Amino acid sequence: MSARPFIVAIDGPAGAGKSSVSKLLARRLGFSLVDTGAIYRCVALMARREGIASDDDARLGELLSRVHIHFQVVGEENRVFLGGQDVSGEIRTPDISMAASQVSGRPVVRAGLLQLQRRLALESEKGAILEGRDIGTVVFPDADAKFFLAASPEVRARRRYEELFQKGVESTLESVLADQTKRDRDDSARAVAPLKAADDAVHVDSSSTPLSEVVHGMESEILRRMAQRA
């Protein structure tokens, strides 16, 4: 039986740089990339389209059987397809971000998507990068390398505000910070799979460290562990 692909777990709050770091690491290492946050956003989008409340467990459970998601790297972006439709932009709006935080706290949703996340990662021939909030604690507690990527609230809010501005989404830094604070609180306080660092995760702060240095340091640690496993 062939060895399991090398699994890298990258957890952390919104705006810490998980997406940017994960894309670069996946490209440099030749790994597949699984954005678990995008999976929950897709569920929130489907629920919104069908008028399903975020606490309607019965309808959410039924909806999960119809979720078909795949990722495709296009240029510099990891595009997200829901039922064959590219929803990469639609799932990144502030409304869907908050809705995703709400549905992700439902036990029926987390349980229903757990196997999907694992399957997407294990389909990789060489290895997979998974980014989210509970990868190292719940999805892959036995991941080969675990990181918890963080940054100060002010830095994270500024990054999100600039991202929305570039996309033409009207917002203010104050409202972005307020939404972020609420989401951090909700994600950390939920009873099921809360946002927290795994005990054996490597902590990385990206507040004032250039992206290239963050990626280089994490890549070096991954390569060291890959050599050990080999």
Query: Would you say residue 118 lies in a domain?
Result: yes
22 annotated as belonging to a binding site for a ligand: no
pLDDT in tens, 20-61: 999 999 999 999 999 888 999 999 999 999 999 999 999 999
Q: Are residues 67 and 117 in the same domain?
A: yes
Q: Which of 123, 143, 162 is the last residue of a domain?
A: 123
Rounded Cα distance between 114 and 112, Å, is 6
Q: Are residues 77 and 187 in the same domain?
A: no
Structure confidence at residue 194 (pLDDT) = 84
* Beta-strand runs (E) in the chain: 6-11, 32-35, 69-74, 77-82, 85-86, 127-132, 145-150, 202-205
Q: Are residues 203 and 137 in the same domain?
A: yes
- Residue 195, pLDDT > 60, answer yes
- Residue 72, pLDDT > 50, answer yes
What would you report as the CA-atom Rg of the chain, rounded to the nearest whole angstrom? 17
Domain with 208, as residue range(s), is 1-31+129-225
16 annotated as belonging to a binding site for a ligand: yes
Q: Are residues 86 and 57 in the same domain?
A: yes
Structure confidence at residue 15 (pLDDT) = 87
Query: Would you say residue 111 lies in a domain?
Result: yes
pLDDT in tens, 74-103: 777 888 999 999 999 999 888 998 899 899
The per-residue pLDDT of the chain, averaged, comes to: 91
Considering the entire predicted model, what is its pTM?
Answer: 0.83
12 annotated as belonging to a binding site for a ligand: yes
Query: Would you say residue 23 lies in a domain?
Result: yes
Given the structure tokens 């892959």, which residue do they identify?
A: 140
Rounded Cα distance between 19 and 25, Å, is 10
Q: Are residues 134 and 219 in the same domain?
A: yes
Token digits for 158?
A: 């500024």
The CATH number of the domain holding residue 103 is 3.40.50.300
Query: Would you say residue 158 lies in a domain?
Result: yes
Structure confidence at residue 206 (pLDDT) = 94
**Is the distance from CB of 6 to CB of 144 less than 8 angstroms?**
yes
13 annotated as belonging to a binding site for a ligand: yes
Structure confidence at residue 136 (pLDDT) = 96
Q: Are residues 191 and 175 in the same domain?
A: yes
Q: Which residues are bridge partners to 203 per DSSP? A: 148
Q: Is 123 helix (H, G, I), strand (E, B) or coil?
A: coil
Structure confidence at residue 1 (pLDDT) = 39
Rounded Cα distance between 23 and 31, Å, is 9
Structure confidence at residue 2 (pLDDT) = 54
Q: State what percent of residues in the chain have pLDDT above 90.
A: 67
Domain count across the chain:
2
- Residue 187, pLDDT > 90, answer no
Structure confidence at residue 193 (pLDDT) = 76
88 annotated as belonging to a binding site for a ligand: no
pLDDT interval class at 168 (50, 70, 90): confident
More confident: 215 or 182 = 215
Query: Would you say residue 230 lies in a domain?
Result: no
207 annotated as belonging to a binding site for a ligand: no
Query: Would you say residue 137 lies in a domain?
Result: yes
More confident: 186 or 142 = 142
Rounded Cα distance between 212 and 230, Å, is 26
14 annotated as belonging to a binding site for a ligand: yes
More confident: 27 or 3 = 27
20 annotated as belonging to a binding site for a ligand: yes
pLDDT in tens, 123-163: 888 999 999 889 999 999 999 999 999 999 999 999 989 98
Structure confidence at residue 130 (pLDDT) = 96
